[in-house]
A and B are shown apart, each in its own frame.
Chain A
Amino acid sequence: MIFSELEKNKREMYITFADCFDFVGREFCLMDGTAAFLCSIDGISSGQTGAELVMYPLMGMSASEISDTSAITLKNRLINVTDVSATRDFPDVISGILSGDTAIFIDGQSTAIIAQTKGWAQRGIAPPDTERTIRGAKEGFCETILTNTAMIRRRIKSPKLKIINTKVGNISNTSVCMAYIEGIAEPALVEKMKNRLKNIDVDYILESGHIEQLIEDRQHTLFSTVSSSERPDVVAGKLMKGRVAVVTDGTPFVLTAPMLFSENFHSVEDYFSRRTYSIFIRVLRMLCYFISILLPSGFIALSTHHQEMIPAKLLGTIISSAEGAPLPLGVEMLIMLLLYEVLREAVLRLPNAVGATVGIVGSLVIGEAAAGAHLISQVTIVIAAITFITSAVVYNDSVTLVRIILLVASLMLGIFGTMLGIFIMTAHLCALNSFGTPYLLPVAPFSKKGITDSVYRDRINDVLRGGGL
C-alpha cells in the first residue's frame, strides 16, 4: 500500500531501487507548495516526456486538484501524455516504472499517478535477415513489441484482430502479446495458448525461443512444433489461416502456432508468384529437404554395404576416388558434415570481415587441399557439397541432427539402417502434435482441404478466401 507521507514513499522507492544507477528520482513542488516526487528509469522512459509533459503541468496544479480519483482529470490536464492511471499499490508502481512509465507521489496522498512515458532507443525497421524474398515487403520485425504489433495491425485493419498483452518471467517481466483473429482462430486454440503462456513459471524470458520451448507440446523432439518468423506479412498470413501469434518484447522473431511439418517448405513468396512456378519451387524445396537428410546416408549405405546397387560406372568412379584416401568413406563423410557445421558456426559468430575470410579459407581447405592431398575422396566432397547446398534451401534445426543420425545408422547397418532411421523418424513425426493439431496434418491424417495448399499451392483466389491449412 502506498503511504500518505511522501518521505515514506520516497524511502520505499529508493530501497527498492537501491544500486540501480538508472533509477531517477526528482522532487518538486506543486503550485501550492505541496511536495511531490517523480521517478522513472532512465533509458526506457522518455526524459523529455517526463519533464515537459508530466512535471511541468503538475507544477501548475495544486494538491487539492489531485485527489485519489483524479486520473480522468489528470488525463485531461496532462493532455500530451497518452495514458495516465492512479494506483494504491507499490507493485503496480514498480511494474510501471520498469516498463518505462513515470510515477508521481504527492505528499498527503496515498495514491501514485502513473503516466505513460515509455521511450527508448530502438533499431529501425530493417529487411528480415532470415527470410529474404525477391518480391514482397522488405520490412521485418524489430525488437520493440509495440512496433511489431503495429506492423501486424497495419496489415490486418480489423477490430477482429485481438492482441492480448501479458507479462512472462517472474523477474524479467517480459511483455508478450498474443494475437489472433476472432472468428477465424479456434477458441479452443486461443484458450490453450493463453493457458500455456499463463503457466510459464520461469525467472526470465529474453527471446521468443525461450517461449517456444516452454509452450510446445513436446520438448523432447528434434522437430520444432512452433513456427517463428521475422516477417510481418508471414505472420499476418498465418493469422488469417487461424494461427495464434506470440509477439515477445526484445526479439524480432514472432511465434505462430500450430505449426505443420509442411510449413517448412513454404515461403511467403509462393503466394506472390505464378501458381505453376510456386508449385514447382515447393516441390523442389521438398526434394532438397529429402536430399539434404538422405544423400549422405544413402551414399554411404550404397557405397560401403550395397555396392551391387550402384551403376557400374559410378561404382568405378567411387572406387577410383576412394583409392589412396586413408579414412573409411563413412568417417570421411561424418568429418565433412561436422566440418561444415563448424564452418557455418564460425562464419556466423565471427565479425563479417573475418567470417568471410574463414569461409573462403575453410572451403578452399576442404575442397581443394584435402582432395589434393588425398585426405578425403573427391566423391565425398561432392556429396557433402550437394548436401550443404540443398540444406540451405530448407533450413531448420532438425535437418543437421537427422542427417547425422541417419548417417550413423547407415554406417552401421547400410540401407537397413537408413530405412530403420526413416521408419523411426516417420513414426515420431506421426506422433507429434502442435497445439493438438497433428504435425503431419495434410498427409497423415489425410486432409483434402489441406493438401490443396500445403503440398502444392492452391489457386490464389481460394487461398485469399481462407482455403488450405
Chain B
Amino acid sequence: MKTVGSKLRVRSGRRLLAKPLFLILLMTSGIFFSACVNNYEPDDIAVVRGLCFDTCDEGIKVTACITGGEDYITVSAVGSSFQAAFEALDSAGERKIFTGQNLIIAISTKLAILGFGDIIEGYFNNVALGGAPIVFIVRGTAADIFGIENIFSADPAAAAVRILARAYDGGAIKLTNAAQLFQAQKTVASLLPIVSAQGELSVETMCVIKNRRLVCELDGDQSVGAKWLSGGGLRTFIMVGDEGVMLENMAVEYVIEENNCELTLKFSVVPMDKNDDKFELKNASVQRAIELVKSALGVAQEHNADFINFGAAYLRKYSGEVPNLADINFSVRCR
C-alpha cells in the first residue's frame, strides 16, 4: 500500500527527471563513475611502441620501447609477475607509461614455453588503454628486436610490424593480435609467428599456442597448411616442384558426420612463372595443397590443438562436448 510519503517521493523523482540539467548531470556523473575518464597531458606520458617479455631470475623481465616525441629509448624492469614487472617499469621514469600506441608484444621462446597467460590477461585487465598489438614469439631474447638497426624506420616496433605484415602477405604466417589471444578461449589453440633477431629481424615459421603456452613449432609446410585451415589469409605462396605458385582465394569447408570430417579446399592457382602445361601444374598444386593441409592436420591431432577451427564447425552442427581431434577421421579433397 502506497503511503503519502512514497507518492511524494515518486512525484519529486519525476519532477527531477523532467529537468534537463538533472539529466545532463546524471549522464556526466555516469561517465565519471564508470572511470572512463583518464586525463594525462601529452608531455606527461611515455608512449610505449613495443613491449618485449623475457624470463629472468626474478621472474619476468619487461622491456619497453618508448618514445617521448621523436627519439626512441629502451627501458627494462623486472618483477615476479607481469603486474610487478609492469609497475616497476611504470615507476622507472617520471612519465606515465602509456600503452595505447603499443604495436607489438614480443615474447621469448623460453617464456612462451613456460606460459604467458598472465601477460595477456594482465595487459588487458590492467594496462591497455586501447589498440591491439601484434603478438609474436622471438627465438632467443625478445628484447633483442629493439637493438636491430633499421634504415627505413627509426621506430623499431613499427619496423617489426612492417616486416611481419610483409611476411603475412603471401607468406606462411598468420598474424594474431593480443585482443584475439585475450578473447580466445584457453582451450582453443592459436598460431603465432616465430621470428629471429640475429643481426636482422627475420620471420621463420609459426608455432602453436595452447593454454597460452607454446606447445610446438611448425615447419614451413605445416605453417602453410595451418594458415589455410585457420582462415589466416586469402593467399599463400608455395613451391610445387621447382615452380613457385600463388594459391589465391583460399577457403575451407567442413562436412562433419559423427567422427568423420571431410575438408574441402577451395583455391585458385596463379603460376608465378610462365608455364606451358597449366593443367599439369594445377594437378600438382592440388596434390601439394592436400599434402600441406594434411601435415597441419597431423600436428593439430598430435597435440590436440584446435587451431583449425574444427570445434566451431562441430558446434554449429552438434551440441555438447567437442571430441578430441585425435579421434576424428579427416579426409581432404580439393574443388
* Minimum distance in angstroms from B34 CB to a CB of chain A: 9
* Minimum distance in angstroms from A416 CB to a CB of chain B: 5
In the bound complex, what is the Cα–Cα distance between A316 and B154 (angstroms)? 13
In contact, B24 and A414 (Cβ under 8 angstroms): no
CB proximity to A under 8 Å, residues B320-335: none
In contact, B49 and A312 (Cβ under 8 angstroms): yes
A315-B42, A420-B27 as given contacts; A307 in contact with B37, CB under 8 Å: no
Per-position binary interface string of chain B over residues 212-251, scored 1 when its CB falls under 8 Å from any chain A CB and 0 otherwise: 0000000000000000000000000000000000000000
CB proximity to B under 8 Å, residues A301-325: 303-309, 312, 315-320, 322-325
In the bound complex, what is the Cα–Cα distance between A307 and B45 (angstroms)? 9
A308-B101, A315-B101 as given contacts; A322 in contact with B42, CB under 8 Å: yes
Q: How many A-B residue pairs have CB under 8 A?
A: 80
Cross-interface CB contact of A413 among B28, B67, B129, cutoff 8 Å: B28
Q: How large is the interface on A (under 10, 10 to 19, 20 to 34, 35 or more residues)?
A: 20 to 34
In the bound complex, what is the Cα–Cα distance between A324 and B41 (angstroms)? 12
A307-B100, A319-B69, A320-B69 as given contacts; A312 in contact with B155, CB under 8 Å: yes
When distances are taken between beta carbons in the complex, the residues of chain A under 8 Å from B41 are 304, 322, 328-329
Q: Which residue of A lies closest to B31 (CB)?
A: A416
Per-position binary interface string of chain B over residues 14-44, scored 1 when its CB falls under 8 Å from any chain A CB and 0 otherwise: 0000000000100110011000111111110
In the bound complex, what is the Cα–Cα distance between A308 and B131 (angstroms)? 7
In the bound complex, what is the Cα–Cα distance between A170 and B132 (angstroms)? 70
When distances are taken between beta carbons in the complex, the residues of chain B under 8 Å from A323 are 43, 68-69
Decide yes or no whether B98 CB sits under 8 A from chain A.
Answer: yes
When distances are taken between beta carbons in the complex, the residues of chain A under 8 Å from B98 are 307-308
* Minimum distance in angstroms from A380 CB to a CB of chain B: 11
In contact, B101 and A307 (Cβ under 8 angstroms): yes
Decide yes or no whether A424 CB sits under 8 A from chain B.
Answer: yes
In contact, B39 and A304 (Cβ under 8 angstroms): yes
In the bound complex, what is the Cα–Cα distance between A417 and B42 (angstroms)? 19
Q: Which residue of B lies closest to A421 (CB)?
A: B24
A308-B129, A413-B28, A413-B37 as given contacts; A315 in contact with B70, CB under 8 Å: no
Per-position binary interface string of chain A over residues 285-313, scored 1 when its CB falls under 8 Å from any chain B CB and 0 otherwise: 00000000000000000011111110010
When distances are taken between beta carbons in the complex, the residues of chain A under 8 Å from B47 are 307, 312, 315-316, 319
In the bound complex, what is the Cα–Cα distance between A324 and B43 (angstroms)? 8
Decide yes or no whether B130 CB sits under 8 A from chain A.
Answer: yes
Q: Which residue of B lies closest to A420 (CB)?
A: B27
When distances are taken between beta carbons in the complex, the residues of chain A under 8 Å from B101 are 307-308, 312, 315
* Minimum distance in angstroms from B113 CB to a CB of chain A: 31
When distances are taken between beta carbons in the complex, the residues of chain B under 8 Å from A309 are 100, 130
* Minimum distance in angstroms from B57 CB to a CB of chain A: 34
Q: Which residue of A lies closest to B129 (CB)?
A: A308
In the bound complex, what is the Cα–Cα distance between A140 and B68 (angstroms)? 56
In contact, A304 and B28 (Cβ under 8 angstroms): no
Q: Which residue of A lies closest to B27 (CB)?
A: A420
Decide yes or no whether B158 CB sits under 8 A from chain A.
Answer: yes
When distances are taken between beta carbons in the complex, the residues of chain A under 8 Å from B42 are 303-304, 307, 315, 318-319, 322, 329
In contact, B40 and A304 (Cβ under 8 angstroms): yes
CB proximity to B under 8 Å, residues A202-233: none
Among B38, B41, B100, max chain A CB count under 10 A is at B41
In contact, A414 and B28 (Cβ under 8 angstroms): no
In contact, B37 and A416 (Cβ under 8 angstroms): yes
In contact, A312 and B131 (Cβ under 8 angstroms): no
In the bound complex, what is the Cα–Cα distance between A328 and B31 (angstroms)? 22
* Minimum distance in angstroms from A431 CB to a CB of chain B: 10
When distances are taken between beta carbons in the complex, the residues of chain A under 8 Å from B38 are 305, 414
Q: Which residue of A lies closest to B32 (CB)?
A: A413
A304-B40, A414-B39 as given contacts; A312 in contact with B70, CB under 8 Å: no
When distances are taken between beta carbons in the complex, the residues of chain B under 8 Å from A328 are 41
When distances are taken between beta carbons in the complex, the residues of chain A under 8 Å from B131 are 308
In the bound complex, what is the Cα–Cα distance between A424 and B21 (angstroms)? 11
* Minimum distance in angstroms from A20 CB to a CB of chain B: 51
Interface positions of B (Cβ within 8 A of A): 24, 27-28, 31-32, 36-43, 45, 47, 49, 67-70, 98, 100-101, 129-131, 155, 158
Interface positions of A (Cβ within 8 A of B): 303-309, 312, 315-320, 322-325, 328-329, 412-414, 416-417, 420, 424
Residue contacts A-B, CB under 8 angstroms, 14 given: A305-B37, A306-B100, A306-B130, A308-B129, A312-B49, A312-B155, A315-B47, A316-B70, A319-B43, A319-B47, A328-B41, A413-B32, A414-B37, A416-B36
User: Which 6 A-B pairs have CB atoms at the shortest separation, nearest pair first?
Assistant: A308-B100, A308-B130, A320-B69, A322-B43, A319-B69, A322-B42
